[in-house]
Amino acid sequence: MNKTISLDDLPRQVENLLRATWEADESLVLEQNGKPVAAIVPMDEYRKLHPDENAAAYELPVHLLQAYHGLLDKKFSTGLTPEEEVELTQLDEQLNEAEAAQPLIQSMQKRSAARHENWMQRFEKVMAKLRSLTNLTSQP
């Protein structure tokens, strides 16, 4: 389901709209003067539109994010039990650790992709050389 919102209304509703996009898998169309000017789409939809751009992307664990935001919402709406406060603190620490690891993981993924690309280029050169040798030997 798609929602439409004026850019003037966006600042007041941004958190709820982004959460709806993320959690409910809804797209959001932004309008200015009644004309669509941009869209916010769930990551799965974005990945379908830009598969190469996201090949090496690393994301924080979704289950941790959902649990964290669920407890955070509860904290500000009805309050948390002492056990839930501890759980929220633990989730916050786990997310911080995962976030700190992102640059290293992304660096490793980029190096791996570069090695693969280098290997593919060398493989293509070898194959081209083999084809040219095959052509030389098959000529009378």
Same domain, 95 and 74: yes
Range of the domain at 108: 59-140
CATH of the domain at 21: 3.40.1620.10
**Lowest model confidence (mean pLDDT) among 10-14, 27-31, 86-90:** 10-14
Q: pLDDT tens, 14-28?
A: 777 777 777 777 787
The answer to whether residues 100 and 135 belong to one domain is yes
Are 78 and 101 found together in one domain? yes
Of the three residues 55, 80, 100, the one that is the final residue of a domain is 55
pLDDT at residue 67, rounded to an integer: 86
Residue 137, pLDDT score: 65
Query: Are 45 and 84 within one domain?
Result: no
Residue 55, pLDDT score: 47
Same domain, 23 and 65: no
Rounded to a whole number, what is the largest CA-CA distance in the chain?
87
Q: Is the pLDDT reported for residue 82 higher than 90?
A: yes
Asked if 98 and 61 count as a contact pair (C-beta separation under 8 A), the reply is yes
pTM of the model: 0.37
Closest CA relative to residue 38, chosen from 81, 12, 4: 4
Same domain, 39 and 9: yes
Question: Does 6 share its domain with 65?
Answer: no
Do 41 and 103 sit in the same domain of this protein?
Answer: no
One domain, residues 47 and 63: no
**Domain check: are 84 and 129 in the same one?**
yes
Same domain, yes or no: 73 and 135:
yes
Token pair listed for 24 = 């409910």
Domains identified in the chain, total number: 2
**Domain match, 84 and 136 both:** yes
For residues 5 and 28, is the Cβ–Cβ distance under 8 A?
yes
pLDDT tens for each residue of 21-79: 777 777 878 888 888 888 888 877 777 777 665 544 556 677 888 888 888 888 888 88
- Model pLDDT, residue 27: 81
What letters, b where the CB count within 10 A reaches 16 and e where it falls short, cover 34-59?
A: eeeeeebbbeeeeeeeeeeeeeeeee
Q: pLDDT-based confidence at 87, cuts 50/70/90?
A: very high
